[in-house]
Structure 1
Amino acid sequence: MERHQKKVEELNFETLEVLFRKNHKFLCMIAVNHVKDPFIAEDIVQEFFINFWERQDKIKLHTSFEAYACRSIKYKSISWLRSQETVIKRISEYDYPSYEDPMEAAFKAADEEGLELKILKLIDELPTERKRILLLSTTGNYTYAQIAEMLGISINTVKSQMVKAYASLRLKAGPILFSMILNYLLLGV
């Protein structure tokens, strides 16, 4: 053996645990300084100690364990960063097909065709009393009890007329336009 090199002595688990406890936080700080993520840094340090344990018979130290560990962590961190750059490059080279949300497409198409006019036309096609009850409930913000009192009918009649109004609109409009009608009536959107 050369004068400046010394082979790592055969470590037992307790000695490795002492080295781990003594150097862990500092080595994690070194890794975080490079990778900017504490979880990745923790993984890098743990991987270092596992590799050190597995390869201890092949490692020749030129300096102290601490210096060796710091240098190893630095290189492992740089290697991790390079691997991430490669992954990002590969992902950016892949041509992903564009995706358009069907609801968004329906909103655009409906907007171009005068969504509000379509909604008003569908509501206007409802029977007179049903339309009145629907509009009092949604745009007038009256409760079913208030509507029943105003119109001199029972609450159950108001409820059944609301159910019939929504069912009729859903049937005539279809699911996407019906959701737009609900947004229009309930949220004013």
Structure 2
Amino acid sequence: MQETPFSLEQFELLFKEHFKQLALLAYSVVKDKDVAKDIVQEFFVKFWETQHTIQLRGAFDSYAARAVKNRSLNYLASQEVKDRHQQLFAAMTPDDPDMDHADREQFYQRLSHAIDCMPEQRRRVFLMSAADNMKYADIARELNISVNTVKFHIKAAYVFLRNESFVPLWACITWALQSFF
């Protein structure tokens, strides 16, 4: 553990000294300047908040580079999932001419009823993910459960909804939840 956390002045110097290099590293992975800057800023915020619990086993720049690269790779992985979902959701748009107002209303009623039938914790986790667009780690932290428990609840919620005859629910659930809630 770091015995003497960085002072604000030391932290500002670290930020000024390493930001550009870390942003370039993030950019080399994500290929987006704004996202790269956000990743580095988020790294520094997290580092500031947790510096007293981090045990640096080498130079700060090595630690920071590894952390920023991992954050960049995680960003790409989450974007890949979002892109895949967007392609699936494009198959059923809110302006689907085959779905009239009564059908859409019935769909929302069935969806709401099915979500209400879920166990409380599963429903809460599912809505935090699907309706609030929260990350699994944020849900886990807020509910004081593990990320694996979050994943289990979300998977179980989708299985439950599929079993409740929401076909092709897997292709439109996020759109429907965001429009509904």
Q: Could you say which structure has the larger radius of gyration? A: 1
TM-score between the two structures when normalised by the length of structure 1: 0.47
If asked which structure has higher relative contact order (CA below 8 Å, sep 6+), I would say 2
